Structure 1
Amino acid sequence: MTLKTLDNSLEVLKYFNKENPTWGVRELAKEMNISHSIIYRILVTFESHGFLIQNPETKKYELGLRFLEYGQMVKDKLNLSDFVLPIMKNLAETIKESVFLTWLDGKDGVTVEIAEGSQTIKFSVSMGTRTPLHIGASCKVIMAYLPEDRKKEIMEHGMKRLTPETITEPEEMIADLEKIQQQGWCFSTGEYAHSVFGLGVPLFNSKKEVIASLTIAGPIYRKPTEEKLPEMVNILQYGAMNIQRYFDQYSFKLYHE
């Protein structure tokens, strides 16, 4: 296998996401501007190893269970469920909203742990959900603490708009990130989804490099008032402090430079 073939193969996997979980050979080839015969060979190879499965009726491909296995291996390596999840559950019970741990991965934030709130109506995302760093409290609070060259790279890469509230102008984003870094937390409304608020704080490794965030999220009609927001920030920061002690103890590193 040449490096070009390997690069194309790995690029193919990136197209299987929440927005586009299934692909046919020709539509994926057109989307990637690669010969459909090459795409076919790549998909068949991934299928033979369990990374993809083909729907017998539609003939389209989707992610296979092999990724669930690898996802669990990564989660076990981080020991998140043993130590971090109880803290998150306690936080969710106190706030009565869902709590999310988001991990930095390249130009995205990935949801790696969830503790749902007790409310009947709640905001929820799936484990493994990937979101660009310029969108929402959980990701922007990570982006705010990245080195300046990486912030610039993310903005130059293009900031996709998910809702009318999503910030896509570089100057506005720079000002917003400066505010987040100064206050130590990020509060957003309607940036990821129209009817959702988020409140996030950063988490760091032993080198003081940002690696993750802890976030409270819920329906926008339950967003905290200006009077209640400081109290919610304090509660969230206390939970983050306990998780931070765990990260410091095990010297978590920033894997994705």
Structure 2
Amino acid sequence: MKREASLNEEEPTVRQVASVSRALQMLELLVAHPEHELGVSEMAREIGVVKSSAHQLLATLVAHGFVESNTATGRYRLGLRLMEAGAVAAKHFGFGPAVVPLLEALVAQVHETCSLGVLVGSSVSLVQRVEAESVLRVDLKVGTRFPAHHSAIGRVIMAGMPPDRLTPMVDSFELSRSERQALLKELDVVRREGCSIVRDIPVEGISAMAVPVRTSAEPAIAGLVVAAPSFRFNPKAWRGPLFSAAAAISARGDRRL
């Protein structure tokens, strides 16, 4: 049977459909502001279209369930169809519900909250999470997003990127020259150590240690992190269990691909 070529195997310069691109930009805007509903005028301005065009794009997204309209405010938020799509994507990469027992086993070893996160644009989004039983623990939900360069997960993923992907991402952070140099130096440390450690960022009083989740095709397709109040931070004790759990999750991902 003849195999169908993927888009990447066809013309590398294939033209994008402008309306589809703008609709996806709208979804990206809503993803970037998960705690806030956005208005038509705001989104039209952000993606560079007139308000009437924004209305048409949103009406299409609403009709397909990817966006919901709040009739009381006239503003928009993400729809449940995206949750379904995200669950399918997570399962494809081995990050669905079947990975939860691996996280539970890790939590049982380190006695701290553990999460799995992926890169979404220039941010990290948590896709799976198991909380520790401690009364004082890190309380972040699945779907929470952080700037990639301020998170342990983001740094382990960025450290595995080739220069042609890493450079544009670092450029997007709009860092000062000294901040950029400090970030690149930190990524060198992450590559050398195989893990990322952050203290009191992006959340004051919380420290974290992350290691990459790999596949045969990607050196860091996701990141596995242990996070705890800074006074309980214990990377020496976490290192072995964290690497073992990441290897198990990586093996699941490779079997899926």
Q: Indicate the TM-score class for this superposition, using the shorter chain for normalisation.
A: 0.7 to 0.9
Please report how far the alpha carbon of residue 200 of structure 1 lies from its aligned counterpart in structure 2 after TM superposition: 0.3
Matched, 1:96 2:104: no
Distance 1:156 1:242, change over 3 A: same
Residue 203 of structure 2 is matched in structure 1 by 193
User: 1:203 pairs with 213, 217, 220, which one?
Assistant: 213
Q: Which letter does structure 2 place at the counterpart of 1:9?
A: A
User: 1:73 pairs with 85, 88, 94, which one?
Assistant: 88
Q: Provide TM-score, normalisation by structure 1.
A: 0.84
Cα distance in 2 for residues equivalent to 1:71 and 1:197? 28
Q: Provide TM-score, normalisation by structure 2.
A: 0.84
Give CA-to-partner distance per residue, 1:101-123, whole Å, 9 cap, x none: 11244544332211111112221
Residue 237 of structure 1 is matched in structure 2 by 243
The farther-off stretch of 28-37 and 194-203 is: 28-37
Q: Which letter does structure 1 place at the counterpart of 2:208?
A: G
How many residues of Structure 1 are paired with residues of Structure 2 in the alignment?
241
Residue 3 of structure 1 is matched in structure 2 by 17
Q: Which runs of 4+ in 1 moved over 4 A?
A: none
Cα distance in 1 for residues equivalent to 2:37 and 2:175? 21
Please report how far the alpha carbon of residue 183 of structure 1 lies from its aligned counterpart in structure 2 after TM superposition: 1.0
Alignment of 1:204-219 (within 5 A): 204-207=214-217, 209-219=219-229
User: 1:157 pairs with 151, 161, 172, which one?
Assistant: 172
The farther-off stretch of 196-205 and 74-83 is: 74-83
Please report how far the alpha carbon of residue 231 of structure 1 lies from its aligned counterpart in structure 2 after TM superposition: 2.1
Please report how far the alpha carbon of residue 172 of structure 1 lies from its aligned counterpart in structure 2 after TM superposition: 0.6
Q: Structure 1, unaligned stretches of length 5 or more? A: 162-166, 253-257
Please report how far the alpha carbon of residue 77 of structure 1 lies from its aligned counterpart in structure 2 after TM superposition: 2.8
Q: Structure 2, unaligned stretches of length 5 or more? A: 1-15
Whichever structure has more helix as a proportion of its residues is 2
Identical columns (%): 25
Matched, 1:171 2:186: no
Give CA-to-partner distance per residue, 1:128-163, whole Å, 9 cap, x none: 3343331211110111121122221111122579xx
Q: Which letter does structure 1 place at the counterpart of 2:250?
A: Q
Q: Which letter does structure 1 place at the counterpart of 2:200?
A: G
Matched, 1:137 2:139: no
